[in-house]
Structure 1
Amino acid sequence: MFKNISKTGILLAILGVPAFVFIFLKIFGKNNFDLPYYFPKIGDNGQVVISKGDTLFNQVPDFELLDQDSLQYSSKTNSGKIRVVSFFFSRCGTICPTTNENLNRILENFKAIPEFEVESITVDPIYDTPSVLKKYASQFDNSKGNWHFLTGDKSYIYDLAIKGFKLPVADATEYDSNITNIDETFIHSDKLLLVDQDGFFRGIYSGTDKFEIDRLMVEVKVLITKLDDGKSRQ
């Protein structure tokens, strides 16, 4: 009898260990996976700026543009959100269609998350008026809500792209008036930038690469999880 009780006790102990470990990890465990920061601040001496032993990183500057509904869009108003930022133009026939289809796929996964949004800024704002952008956006299933197609003053946008988002952009006709092909006119990047709720750059991805897009979605989930964890502790 005692032998049977002993065997039963050992069996229960063996079965209980995994459950105990699971409960312990669920309550006390912490996911330490984090994303890197990009674009460190550079001082006047050309060196990375360090304060109290930590590297300082650039944040997205505040900006104001018009969205596809002709409404003023302020990055300051929408601060505190996780954002994916891209530069494109509606007449682009090369990288933009693929990039925007991928952004549409991203939003399919996160459209129910109010803390997430996409900012697509045109590099052809003279042509891409709000009405043009609204028509362009209508081809994407997830273009309403948290996908903002933005336009404004050309020089303002170019300065924002280069200095604020560290991405190349140029109008080639300013250097060669013989260029007539629209896809050769506007030089811009296919890169997507992931920005956290504090305005720091946390990821850079090719907007035309499926595997990069998959990685972006995983890393968006990391930021959303950390954002939710922060709220739960408040």
Structure 2
Amino acid sequence: MTKKTGILLTILIVPVFLYLGLHEFGNNHFQLPRYIPEIDSTTGEVKMEKRINPRWNESDMDTVFFRIPPFQLIDQKGAPFSSQILDNQIYVASFFFTRCTTICPKITSQVSRLQDVFSREDDIKLISISVDPKFDTPEKLAQYAHRFDAKPGKWYFLTGDKKTIYPLALKGFHVPLADASEYDQAIKNPDETFIHSERLILIDKEKHIRGFYNGTDKKEVDRLMMEIKVLKRIYDSEK
């Protein structure tokens, strides 16, 4: 066998084995982690619950994980947005603001990639929540959404009350967020005012957090795409 023939066979055969391995691994063995276990406030210990294994008809104790709480915001059309829209959906959440000139355009461009890849998957949604709600009116969000070709009903740009958004980021999605102007009135540059995470957060159909990803890093977003596909495969295998 010549060296060139061996290289050709490798190119042809390796992807087949990778596909078969991923198919078997994804369906039967691989489970994405769940994040943020709930803590019992009285004991300080991780909460546990009894879980029935239908395959073996046996029960065991399993960790109780945090779920994203219900929330109400306003979308880019000025319509009320209830988190119930995301019931029984896989979704990716991000935080941004329209005046941002640093990481936000990078993050939003990567979310746009997610929209392109999962455009035909009706149970996958995207939400981008403004951390500058006083400035980011629905009209401003609509302009921003148009800039990134956001698909209505697929990708929601959300604003609302700061008293709702900031606790939701910190205690709901577990990402850092601060308004530096609250501590230093001399700060005027919006890019220095709003300190928020670049993370994309993957949420499953039970509202558990399944992953955090750097939204400015293409390789991280590629990993997110793969893990969304794995999560979809897990749900499909349970039907």
TM class by shorter chain equals 0.7 to 0.9
TM-score, L = length of structure 1: 0.83
Partner of 1:35: 32
Give the deviation of 1:163 after TM superposition. 1.1
Name the SS for the 2:127 alignment partner. Answer: strand
Q: How many pairs are equivalent?
A: 205
CA 1:95–1:30: 2 relative to 1, 3 Å: closer
* CA RMSD across the alignment: 1.8
CA 1:183–1:114: 2 relative to 1, 3 Å: same
Name the SS for the 1:76 alignment partner. Answer: helix
Partners of 2:107 and 2:215 within 8 A in 1: yes
Are 1:46 and 2:32 an aligned pair?
A: no
| 1:149 equivalent among 132, 149, 157 | 157
CA deviations over 1:151-202 (Å, ceiling 9, x no partner): 0001111011111111111110000001011101001100111000111111
CA 1:33–1:175: 2 relative to 1, 3 Å: same
CA 1:140–1:152: 2 relative to 1, 3 Å: same
The answer to which of 168-177 and 43-52 deviates more is 43-52
Partners of 2:73 and 2:82 within 8 A in 1: yes
Are 1:67 and 2:75 an aligned pair?
A: yes
Partners of 2:110 and 2:221 within 8 A in 1: yes
Partner of 2:171: 163
Look up the equivalent residue of 1:125 and give its one-letter code.
P
Name the SS for the 2:85 alignment partner. Answer: coil
| 2:129 equivalent among 95, 116, 121 | 121
Partners of 2:90 and 2:202 within 8 A in 1: yes
Q: Which has the larger radius of gyration?
A: 1
Partner of 2:13: none
Q: 1:192, 1:224 → 2: CA distance?
A: 18
Partner of 2:206: 198
Q: 2:68, 2:153 → 1: CA distance?
A: 22
Give the deviation of 1:30 after TM superposition. 4.3
Are 1:106 and 2:103 an aligned pair?
A: no
Are 1:214 and 2:222 an aligned pair?
A: yes
Partners of 1:59 and 1:201 within 8 A in 2: yes
Q: 2:149, 2:182 → 1: CA distance?
A: 36
Partners of 1:111 and 1:142 within 8 A in 2: no
5+ unaligned residues in a row in structure 1: which ranges? 1-25
